[in-house]
Structures are given as structure tokens and as C-alpha cells.
Amino acid sequence: MLAQTLLEAGNLPGANIIIMRAISERDDVADYYVLQGRINLALKKNDAALQSYSQALDLDASNVDALTQFALLNAQYGQTQAANDAADRLLVLQPQSLVGHQVKALAALTRNRFADATEYADKALALAPGDEGASAIKARILAKQGKIPEARALIDTALISKGETPLLLTTLLNINRKAGDAQKMVANYQRLMPIVEDDLDAQVDYANFLYKTGKADTARPISARVLAIPTVTSAQAEQVFRMWSEYDSDPLDAKTQRAIGASPNLPVVRATLRTLLLNGLPDAALGVMNAVPADKSQGISAIRAQALYAKGDISGAKSLMLQALREDKNNPDALLLRGMMELRFRNTPKAIVDLQSVISDDPLNPAAYDSLAKAFAAQRRQWRSRQLYEEALQKMPQNLFLLKQYLQFLHSSGDNSRAMNVARQFTRTSPASVRAWSEFAAQCRANNDASCLREAQAGNATAATLFALDDPPGVSSRRGLFGKI
């Protein structure tokens, strides 16, 4: 088939066009969807690939190629049950399937069924002695049981026979991460990073490690470079923003500001600007905006107005804000600024209307929640302010800005006990955040609670050895063969 020929020749766009055309003409051929899945994998569109393989299985439930990739992709996405079920079906059709045994081992490991995981990993190694995937899984099983030396030895042996592959080096890194051994992790990163330059997840992880170990000057350009890459996802960008909140009060220089501003990924540029303003960095935000191409700058004019307002240029801010509202009366950035200005000049009822509109349109906007809470407090409706902060932290449970603002509000209301409990709850979703544990400790001191303080100090000591960003609640970290331990 022409699409297969183009795929083999590396012409992925051409292959994609041909297979889409073939499917539009015949949508009942399972092999077409299998080929589409391969093309999507080559294009690094794993979500689309999973959908393709799912459609192939709808047409042919016994298609081994589709089952193999369907099992692997579901394991990668942390869909343990789906991956396990697909592996079971695969092993019925192909009892010697290496992938089938690997996925069964991964599924058992996810559920901490170490005996089952070991059995399937050993079967995989028996089928393919020295296989790097099976070796990585077996090492992870050992490490998760605390058998760190044995896990390292297994990977060291695999590295000798297979060479320094991303999978083996990542597994060794994660073994040492599990052990909290920063010194060994430094050596691991030195070997790994040169061969995963295009892996943004790996770049974010490395930047976080550098920040955590006090090397902000080295971490800073890496985190900024991630944001400037056009293919960066909103989730990856959010990880960078969380690093800034945790470690870096001034993350961008003039060069990195220009690089981010020039990115065609306007949603990430906007998110970066909002984060800089939230962190009190209007000059850095303006530096980014000045590099945004003229044909895209109209979409950020209201954010520019916010930056001018933060710098004290009320007249310039108001002019840009009004212009943005004339173009779009529901512009959330313009409405946020108008609400903030109305609050400043004590037109609280109008401020509340604008800020409620922003939250309705953008329910994950921490600045809008904070401003609206302040507006209700100005009306002496502290109970409503408390509700808003609680709602905001429920939606954004790892947002340090919201935590700080809510704690200030609670202290001003004389509710030190609730402040302590809020800070404690925040550490449950951010156990690796030293700042979160330090804030919790401060609340313990404010309440003269010695037991609480011991809890916070122990948590802080543990957090210092956790060299990975906390996963957002309900969101699985990278799974599959490259998953953390």
C-alpha cells in the first residue's frame, strides 16, 4: 500500500494523507486503522494512535498488531485495567508474546502484586534474554520492594549488553530517585540528557532536579527553553510554572523572554504571561509580550494592560483595557483588570460582577478567585471569601499563590487554627514541595503546636529527598516502560 511505502520512506505527512483517504473510502478495514496507528506513533501522536488501534479492534478483536499496541499505550497512560485486559487477550492469541508478558508485569506492579509482576517479568526475560524492556520492568519491581542494589546491578548488566539506551538510563535514574540518591542521579542525568534532547518531559524533570538541588542558574534556561518550544503542552508548561513558584522568583532574562514571546504556541505564551503577573513580574511579562509577532499581539493586549497596571500606569492600562473590551466585551483578561480597578476605586458591586464573569469563563484563574475573595471581604462578607478560597484550592490544590493568599486572609480573620489545617491539607497534594512544608511549619508555630511542628519538620526533611514534581491529584505521571517507580 502507498501509505506503508511512504511511512517506510519517512514521508509521514504523505503517509497520513493517503491512509486518511483510504479510510474515508473504506472504513471497515482493520488493517487500515493499524497502519494509521503506526503512522500516528511515528508522528508522536500517541492519543490518535490509541484511537486508531481501538477502531481496528472494533473491527477485528483478534488483530495481534492492534492488541499489542493497544496494551502498550494503555499501560503508558496508566490505564491499568484496559492494558491488563488487552494483554490477557493477546496472550490467548499469542502465548509467547513478549509485550503481553511485559504489560501483565507492569499491571501487576502498579497494583503492588510483586509476586505476579516478578513471574511475568521473568517469563518475558525467558522469552527474550537481556531484553531491555523486560530488564527495566524487573529492575523496577526490585526497586519498588526496596532492593535497590539488585535493581542497579540488573540495569548495569543490561547497559553492558544493550548500550546506553534512553529506557535503561531512565530506569537507572528512577531507581536512584527512589533511593533519594542525588549524587548518583547527577551522574545518571549526565549520561541521559544528551540522548533525550527532544523529550520535553525529560527536560522538565531535569530542570526540577536542578532547582531542587540548588542549581537554579542551570535550571533556569532549561525551563525557559521548554516554554519556547512550539510543541510544549499546557501540562508541561504548568509543571514549569509550578517550579517557578517553588524555587525561582525571577526565572527569565531578556533572551529567554524574547524566545518565549516568539513562540507560535500562543496559549502557552498567554499562560506564561499570566503566571509572570501572578508572581509579581510585570517587567518580565512586558519583555515576553514585546517579542510576540505583531499579527498575534492583539490577542494579548488585555494582558499588557494588566502589566501596565501592575507598574502603576493606570491611564495606559485603562486605555488598553477599554480597547480590548470594545473588541470583545467578554475578554476575561480585560474583565479581570476592570474588576481589579473597580475594587481599587471602591466600586465593589461592579467588581464582583466582572470577577464572577471571569471565573465563569475561566474557572482555573487564581488571580480572579483572589480578587473576588477580596471584593467580598470589602463588603464584610468574609464567609463568602472563605468559600471562594476553599473552592479555588479544591480546583487548584497545588497552587502556592492561592495558599499564601488564603492563609493571609485566615490570619486577618483571626482563624489561625483553620490556617494550620489548610496548610496541612496542602502538603497532602504536594508532598515534595519544601515550600509547602515550610508554610505548614510556620502555621504550626503560629498556633504554638509542638506536635504539628514535628510533623511539618519531618515532612520537610522527606520532601528534600523527593526529586520529582508532585503529580496533580487524579493525574497519573508517566507510566509504561518509562514510568517512575
- In this prediction, residues 131-152 reach a mean pLDDT of 95
Q: What is the dihedral of CA 293, 294, 299, 303, to 10 degrees?
A: 80
Residue 454's CB: how many other CB atoms inside 10 A? 12
- In this prediction, residues 61-81 reach a mean pLDDT of 92
Residue 7 has pLDDT above 90, yes or no: no
pLDDT of residue 476: 63
pLDDT of residue 477: 62
- In this prediction, residues 47-61 reach a mean pLDDT of 94
- In this prediction, residues 370-397 reach a mean pLDDT of 96
Evaluate if pTM is beyond 0.75.
yes
* pLDDT digits 0-9 by tens, 95-120: 999 999 999 999 999 899 999 999 99
Count of H-run helices and E-run strands, the chain: 29, 0
Q: Which residue type, as a one-letter code, is found at position 462?
A: T
User: Three-class SS of residue 403?
Assistant: helix
All cell numbers assigned to 184? 548518583
**Beta-sheet strands, E only, within 104-171:** none
The percent of residues in the chain predicted with pLDDT above 70, rounded, is 99
How many Å apart are CA 223 and CA 237, to the nearest integer? Answer: 9
* pLDDT digits 0-9 by tens, 142-151: 999 999 999 9
- In this prediction, residues 426-443 reach a mean pLDDT of 96
Residue 132 has pLDDT above 80, yes or no: yes
pLDDT of residue 317: 96
> Which residue, among 212, 146, 134, has the nearest Cα to 175 in the 3D structure?
146
> Which residue, among 333, 272, 325, has the nearest Cα to 308 in the 3D structure?
333
How many Å apart are CA 302 and CA 296, to the nearest integer? Answer: 13
* pLDDT digits 0-9 by tens, 180-235: 999 999 999 999 999 999 899 999 999 999 999 999 999 999 999 999 999 999 99
pLDDT of residue 482: 76
Residue 483 has pLDDT above 90, yes or no: no
How many Å apart are CA 481 and CA 485, to the nearest integer? Answer: 10
pLDDT of residue 362: 93
H/E segment holding residue 443: helix 434-446
Q: Mean pLDDT score of the chain, rounded to an integer?
A: 94
pLDDT of residue 479: 65
How many Å apart are CA 25 and CA 27, to the nearest integer? Answer: 6
pLDDT of residue 100: 96
